[in-house]
Structure 1
Amino acid sequence: MKKALLFLVLAMLLSICTTAIAADSYTIALITMDSMDQHWLKVKAGAEEAVAELVAAGNDVKLVFDAPSTKVDSVVQASMVENQITNKADAIMVAPMDAEALAPAIEAVYDAGIPMILIDTLANTKKFQVIYQTDNGAAARTAAQELGKLLGGKGKIAIINAQAGSQTTMTREGDFRDEMAKAFPDIEIVGVQYCDGDKQKALNYAEDFMMQTPDLAGFYACNEGSTVGTGNAVDQAGKAGTIKVVGFDFSDEVKDLVERGVIQATMVQNPWVMGNEGVKAAWKLINGEKIADEEAFVVDTGVTVATKENLKDIK
């Protein structure tokens, strides 16, 4: 009887110890718009390094990465967020591809008491602790200044944008338009097309613009895919340098187009910082620390204008 009681006590102690160990294990989920663009892979790399530092410091924490297999599936992305609530992730980081469609899932995370960190793009909700993103309005105004000066303040241009529902890319378009109208009233924007961040679609749209407007003087492209596709279209048309291109984001393909003078300038974000700082914020929130006194706190991760002249300094 005494032995049976002893075994029971030991079993209970073992169960308590196991539960305590499990309680010290943490999962941070990162859900981006896709896993194809280098921009999102850099976000992931920054997050992975931050997690590696936490592990090296003796913490039991892992990163779970997920993203839709296509660039325009907000339904799938929302379900990925909801799955992480079910999986009891300790913190969730999301780059919402559609500001309206992702809002309910983001609010569900927040309402469940799980730290909610936004990356790159806002959603139509204030139910999150912090967002790490580029000041897209300022970057778009800078892009307008770059293209306006390249064109000497006159000419016809077209815009190749990514997702029509994304807060980030619509801000890049809207603030670009406003700045261009204010600073360069003699520059005419002949139209805009949305390529969903797909570089082949962007190439096709850019070709159409060049055919429809023979005297087209420039393009503004709003993300990596649209920038690569637009640059390739101009290059293949033999109009590199003649038609000016100002884009957004930085990848190996964008770098090559800048080096060869096809793209004159591109707005370089800091996606690695977004991912890295996002994990650090998640860890603080998991441990009961505050990021700021108010919720929905915005952190600008900065932007650099890359040109052929300073390309060697861009990482």
Structure 2
Amino acid sequence: MRHFLFPILFAVAVSGCSSKSDTSTAQSNSDATDDRPKVALMMKSLANEFFSTMAEGAKTHQSQHADEYELIVNGIKDERDLSRQVALVDEMVAAGADAIVIAPADSKALVPSLRKAINKGVVVINIDNQLDAEVLASEGVTVPFVGPDNQAGAKQVGDYLAEKLTAGDKVAILEGIRTSFNSQQRVAGFEASMKAAGVEIVSSQSAEWEMAKANSIAASILSEHPDIKAILAANDSMALGAIAAVKSAGKTGDVLVVGFDNISAVQQAIRDGKILATADQYGDKLAVFGIETALQLINGETDKPSDVETPVDLVTAESL
């Protein structure tokens, strides 16, 4: 069964960016009892504003519910550092975590270590980037996914872009890490929109979620395909790299750029007319959705973990 959560369920204030290191941060309260469950939040790169915002949202929620649980926040410095994230899973199990809420850097590589955690009685909740169903089945475990429909969110963005294009126009896609399910789903949403609009995708390359790499790849695409009309980026960091490449090529206003995540820098770029649209998956609340689900399982409020679909909405200049 798939349940639905909406942003109004959780009032989460967001403060400034957190540290960009992968050092664990424990949230504690002197008045809280020692038998509080310990929840480990494990994210991808905190150098990405989306994940630092997610971390701050989780910390704020914990401070408002300090008597209910203890929070440990972890992140990796580089989204490609799979070995470090695997090591963090083992470290959190050794530290006595009752639950791990994880945004995996890879949809397949983290499953074996998470299976070991589950076998030791740790509740595991998957957020942001969905774990691979076939690998989960092969490991004999079930991990509920709490997050948005990335394909539907990307299709909203692509459909909005398509309204500005003409059949026969050419576009390019900047993918995330190709083994990440959320990248695959966002690309699928973009592709569906462009196909329906009769728009040709002349290039689709992975920039691995990174701004600098996206800038380099976008510059190359613009050189090879000077007639493209838009670049669809699977996250906002890559969208920012793309608009820098567009500016350098002297094509600002001629090549449209869209993204996904709704980070603050992209909100400003949308207001300035540099980016056309993005998708908001409520990063400040996404970890909270996962934490709440973990606590329900720990507290015995439900014994049947199930996927929870969270909101994702189109963001444009009109909606800001």
Query: Structure 2 length normalisation: TM-score?
Result: 0.83
Q: Which has the larger radius of gyration?
A: 1
Confirm whether residue 47 of structure 1 aligns to residue 58 of structure 2. Answer: yes
Number of the residue aligned with 1:108: 116
Amino acid at match of 1:184: A
**Among candidates 201, 217, 221, match of residue 209 of structure 1:** 221
Aligned equivalents of 2:267 and 2:248: distance in 1? Answer: 17
Q: What is the identity, as a one-letter code, of the residue corresponding to 2:129?
A: T
Count of aligned pairs: 282
Give the counterpart letter for 1:251 in structure 2. Answer: I
Q: Which amino acid aligns with 1:307?
A: T
Higher helix fraction: Structure 1 or Structure 2?
Answer: 1
* SS of corresponding position for 1:146: helix
Conserved? CA contact 2:261–2:279, under 8 Å: yes
| Letter in structure 2 aligned against 1:136 | N
What residue ranges of structure 1 are gaps of 5+ in the alignment?
1-20
Correspondence list, 1:23-102, <5 A: 24-55=35-66, 58-59=67-68, 61-102=69-110
Q: What is the Cα deviation at residue 119 of structure 1? A: 1.1
Cα deviation, residue 298, structure 1 = 2.1
- Counterpart CA distance in 2 for 1:105 and 1:47 is 23
Amino acid at match of 2:186: R
Q: Which residue matches 2:238? A: 226
Report the AA paired with residue 42 of structure 1. Answer: T
2:315 partner amino acid: A
Alpha-carbon offset, residue 128 of structure 1:
4.4
| Partner Cα distance (1:131, 1:49) in 2 | 22
* Residue 243 of structure 1: how far off its partner (Å): 0.6
Deviation (angstroms), 1:225: 1.5
Give structure 2 stretches of 5+ with no counterpart. 1-32
CA contact (8 A) 1:106 1:128 kept: no
Q: Between the two proteins, what is the percent identity of the paired residues?
A: 28
Q: CA RMSD in A?
A: 1.7
Question: TM-score, with normalisation over the residues of structure 1?
Answer: 0.84
Conserved? CA contact 2:162–2:193, under 8 Å: no
Distance change >3 Å, CA 145–CA 277, structure 1 → 2: same
* Cα pair 2:236 2:278 within 8 Å, conserved: no
2:296 is matched with 284
Measure, in 1, the Cα distance between the counterparts of 2:266 and 2:228: 21
